[in-house]
Structure 1
Amino acid sequence: MSDIRLERHTHSATNMHSRQLNRKISLLSSNDRRIRKKDALEKFIESHQTLVITGLSQLRHNILIEGLAKDDSGFCPYRVYVWSILLRIPPMKAQTYVDLVKAGKSKSFDKILNDIHRTLKGDKLLETRVSSEMLTRCLNSHALQIEAIQHSGKNHQNLSPYVQGMNILAAPFLCAAKSEPEAFALFSGLLTRYIPMYVVPTLTGVHTGVKLVDKCLEIVDPKLSQFLQSKLLQAEIYALPSILTLCACTPPLVEVLELWDFLFAYGCHMNVLLVIAQMILMRSKLLASKNPMTLLREFPPLQAKEVIKLAISFLPLIPDSLYELLCKHTHDPTVGNRLKDLE
């Protein structure tokens, strides 16, 4: 039941677009393939898929059941190509990114600089693969891109050039990608196409997301929900960073990458249930604590497999009417008001 429900709410892809994407990915990864033996999943994503929807379903299933292969450092060398396929975002021309970098500082540049030093500080994988300069260029380029859209009068989604938390969202892409342009394309595409309501000035989707955490927790674990309510602890107080960053604010980064494999395969809306799953994993400690906010202020180290397994187990419990809002809250500005009607 869970698999069927997850599949039903993933976006479909056209045959032509997927073939073009696979060709570009194949070309970009050619050098990598020459020096490294490919596993079964890597061979699968490079192979021609006659029925694209079937191919995507198989890829999602493989991610759910087996996960992506890892090297000794816990890193998957072809993860970025899988993300490109799942998000249906092809690599961009390097010159396009270079032009954005050369355009200079955005209006948000100072805000970006202030947040850079806080980005996943102390994570060894990030420190070895991503520099502050890379983060600054990526974030500033996105801000410039949105400012240009604003200037053109076509910013119909009212996207913000920069909000605090984008720095955390950019880091995993820069860590997984083979190049900055590749990371930028995925990062910018995620914000504008998949979670636009998370990055409007008022963070509408994020605030709706934390309300969904409260609502879903009531159903999934009434006892824990009532306990937290008795302590006046609504998700708005403790879950906002996790919702905004798709759980990337909780280390280690290697587990975040694995969690994002699942999110990009089955939908960013599942982030709400992933946050609840992290809470359930520390349920006994929360219920035994006189001050549970001390535990909720900083979640325990992420355990991607356990969190994903728990989140999927919640799906049969969520009513269809609530699940529909869960699926839409990342991109539909009306969900917040519609959620009130369910109360």
Structure 2
Amino acid sequence: YVTRYSGVLDGFRILERILDVVDRPLSDHLISYDLKPEVYAFPIISTLNSCVPPISESSCLWDICLAFGVYWGILFTVARLIECSAKLRESSRSRAPLVTRELELGLGIPYQRVIISAFDIMNQLFRNQNKQLIHDLIKHPVEPLQSGTLFP
């Protein structure tokens, strides 16, 4: 049992950093609405994607997490966001571009595309030599980052 969701909170920071590297326009767009991962990604990150139906697809994502590391849950979330990036950026100023429930439902993206996109994201991080970001991503489940706490 982990108190204060430290791994989840670190995951949010890492998600923001990855999104900033791989899709700066989407990152800027979400920031312009003051949308932080704590708001839109809490259920999906804290449950390791298990809130995304159907469970048969979630279990395929878990296979990747068990094989390569639970940090892939962060990559799967970024992959979903990037796969629907154009749709999210089309939103008008009167409506926020993302509702948590939409992300919980997987944004209508098949798990196969999520996996392919997540591997592409990881390859992009390696190509750009984002060594500290990759280290933080891989180690955050076992080595807490120096981040603020969401819950006292």
Q: TM-score range by the shorter chain?
A: 0.7 to 0.9
2:11 aligned to which of 209, 217, 228: 209
Aligned-partner Cα distance in 1 for 2:120–2:135: 17
Q: How does 1:175-190 map to 2 (within 5 A)?
A: none
Match of 2:69 in 1: 267
Q: TM-score of the superposition, structure 2-length normalised?
A: 0.84
Give SS of 1:247's match: coil
* Unmatched segments (≥5 aa) in structure 2: 148-152
Aligned-partner Cα distance in 2 for 1:336–1:272: 18
| Pair 1:293-2:104 in alignment | no
| Pair 1:307-2:118 in alignment | no
**Cα pair 1:252 1:301 within 8 Å, conserved:** no
Match of 2:53 in 1: 251
Aligned-partner Cα distance in 2 for 1:268–1:275: 12
Aligned-partner Cα distance in 2 for 1:236–1:267: 22
Counterpart residue type for residue 28 of structure 2: Q
1:328 aligned to which of 122, 125, 139: 139
Match of 2:150 in 1: none
> Which structure has more RCO (C-alpha within 8 Å, separation ≥ 6)?
2
Counterpart residue type for residue 98 of structure 2: M
Q: Percent identity?
A: 33
Between Structure 1 and Structure 2, whose CA radius of gyration is higher? 1
**Cα pair 1:251 1:302 within 8 Å, conserved:** no
Deviation by residue 1:79-128 (Cα, 9 ceiling, x = unmatched):
xxxxxxxxxxxxxxxxxxxxxxxxxxxxxxxxxxxxxxxxxxxxxxxxxx
Aligned-partner Cα distance in 2 for 1:266–1:302: 22
Give SS of 1:286's match: helix
**Cα pair 1:251 1:301 within 8 Å, conserved:** no
1:336–1:305 Cα change, 3 Å: farther
**Cα pair 2:14 2:137 within 8 Å, conserved:** yes
Aligned pairs, how many?
137
RMSD value over aligned CA atoms?
1.4
Give SS of 2:26's match: helix
* Unmatched segments (≥5 aa) in structure 1: 1-158, 160-199, 338-343
**Cα pair 2:16 2:27 within 8 Å, conserved:** yes
Aligned-partner Cα distance in 1 for 2:98–2:116: 25
Aligned-partner Cα distance in 1 for 2:65–2:146: 22
Q: TM-score of the superposition, structure 1-length normalised?
A: 0.38
- TM-aligned CA deviation for residue 264 of structure 1: 0.8
Aligned-partner Cα distance in 2 for 1:312–1:218: 17
Aligned-partner Cα distance in 1 for 2:76–2:27: 16
- TM-aligned CA deviation for residue 302 of structure 1: 5.2
**Cα pair 2:83 2:109 within 8 Å, conserved:** no
**Cα pair 1:274 1:307 within 8 Å, conserved:** yes
Aligned-partner Cα distance in 2 for 1:242–1:304: 14
1:302–1:252 Cα change, 3 Å: farther
